[in-house]
Homo-oligomer: A and B are copies of this chain.
């Protein structure tokens, strides 16, 4: 089997080399690879915007193979937002393209010191070249993507930063295009757009057509593709519910559990929940001729994505999703999907994480800068980011920075990153995930809402959530979408088959889990060397004391229980 390659870009010297993937990294991909590289090669005490930081871009181990939902793209670095290790991943076409090129990772070292800025990188079968993208300086994401696709072909994969990344704001994301070319799949969390911007780059363009992805056994792969797709189609959630309702299907459930962040996490039930819930979203999109059952990645059979359109049927934003609907919606007291979709589009244009921006706006509203429910004010504030005004820069610096400037003490962040759309007082397992993920308050690191537990029971969370973190690492390593979990984690033999077919690696799932747990430990060790002590692995104090209306829960997982989160891994059967 042809081995995958590494593309190392020395920006100081404006040079790029393609070389074989080092032996130690052969079995890695996605988050496992980005975190290994960052942990081994980045000084944990460097400034995230300095030339000493690396930006590592790695598709999952199964990317480009035609397996459904297996083309997630990871990016990693020391985070400008948290100051710790960061991995963020997304769908779209870039991971698929890199996978087909046999590229295991792109490492960006140093920074461009001269020449026209910002620059770009073009990666294809012929090699790597630099692009002069100075004409795109300061341009919003959609216009930039359109011009790049017009120039390099509509099938190119893009990874690009917006104005926020160019001015190096800590909430800046990286955007990736979907199969229709809309740059709406985001490596959202942790400020990776600022890392690209600090390196003097605006975009990476990936060209690939017609070639073959290097795999171990094509026949086995065909069989694995078929079987996995069939299993996904058979399951009621991955085969049907996701296609109709998308990620938003959770909204009324979370609201029913009393854990839907509302007005800066002051309440857990939102009076406008129905209006922004899954059925409302589906009917709105359908009634206006938008798209649902849309796949963000080539060949995905789950197809949770949508294309939200305005009342005239004109496109607004590609995939209006749960976290955004809540954090730019209920968390700001907004219950109009059109307004939320507009804010989403605006964040995408400017190039900031919708989640961090939603949490930050909630904090600013709490600080008195504007009233909850004031759509125009929220919109104006996001526009300020694009202008680079002082207020825009503050908002684009994230929730913790906004809280500091506006004297707000209820700050829903861990390690400086804003919480996702589950109040951990009502969804307690998610509280463990926020607290203990080396990424800060990230839900994807252990998406506890998917667990079959009593979410309000403080004693029921620890072991399932620990196991979920290890398993999530495995999914992020392989580039498998989390939404396959109901199938892939329930029938891990499927994962074993895929790995054998694609990489020729015969490995049991339990061993993968244990390796995943080890990798989590390496991420956490990076954070320790960056200055985080154990106490940084906890929720903000107000969530332990302030009762969440209407039910009144607090986050009450006992300290002794929490202290066991990083206890050594014990292999165990069952879920």
Query: Which A residues contact B (CB, under 8 angstroms)?
Result: 43-50, 52, 80, 167-170, 194, 197-198, 389-391, 393-394, 396-397, 401, 404-411, 528-536, 538, 540-542, 545
**8 A-B pairs with the lowest CB-CB distances in the bound complex, closest first:** A168-B407, A531-B536, A390-B391, A393-B405, A533-B533, A49-B409, A531-B535, A47-B409
Question: Which of B197, B390, B545 is within 8 Å of A405, CB to CB?
Answer: B390
Q: Provide the bound-state CA to CA distance between A295 and B264, in Å.
A: 50
Q: Provide the bound-state CA to CA distance between A542 and B50, in Å.
A: 9
B407 A401 Cβ-Cβ under 8 A:
no
Residues of B within 8 A of A197 (CB): 407
Most buried by B among A407, A528, A533: A407
Residues of B within 8 A of A531 (CB): 532-536, 538
A407 B542 Cβ-Cβ under 8 A:
no
Residues of B within 8 A of A404 (CB): 80, 170, 397, 401
Residues of B within 8 A of A533 (CB): 528-533, 536
With contacts A401-B404, A528-B535, A533-B528 known, is A540 near B409, CB below 8 A?
A: no
Q: Provide the bound-state CA to CA distance between A315 and B49, in Å.
A: 44
B532 A409 Cβ-Cβ under 8 A:
no
Not counting A197-B407, A393-B406, A394-B394, a sample of 8 additional A-B residue pairs whose C-beta atoms are within 8 angstroms of each other reads A45-B535, A50-B542, A80-B404, A167-B407, A169-B407, A394-B405, A397-B404, A529-B533
Q: How far is the CB of A522 from chain B (nearest CB, A)?
A: 16
Residues of B within 8 A of A410 (CB): 47
Most buried by B among A46, A390, A410: A390
With contacts A47-B409, A404-B397 known, is A535 near B542, CB below 8 A?
A: no
Residues of B within 8 A of A47 (CB): 409-411, 540-542
Q: Provide the bound-state CA to CA distance between A168 and B411, in Å.
A: 14
With contacts A535-B529, A535-B531 known, is A541 near B43, CB below 8 A?
A: yes
B405 A44 Cβ-Cβ under 8 A:
no
With contacts A531-B536, A535-B44 known, is A194 near B397, CB below 8 A?
A: no
Chain B residue at minimal CB-CB distance from A532:
B533
A50 B541 Cβ-Cβ under 8 A:
yes
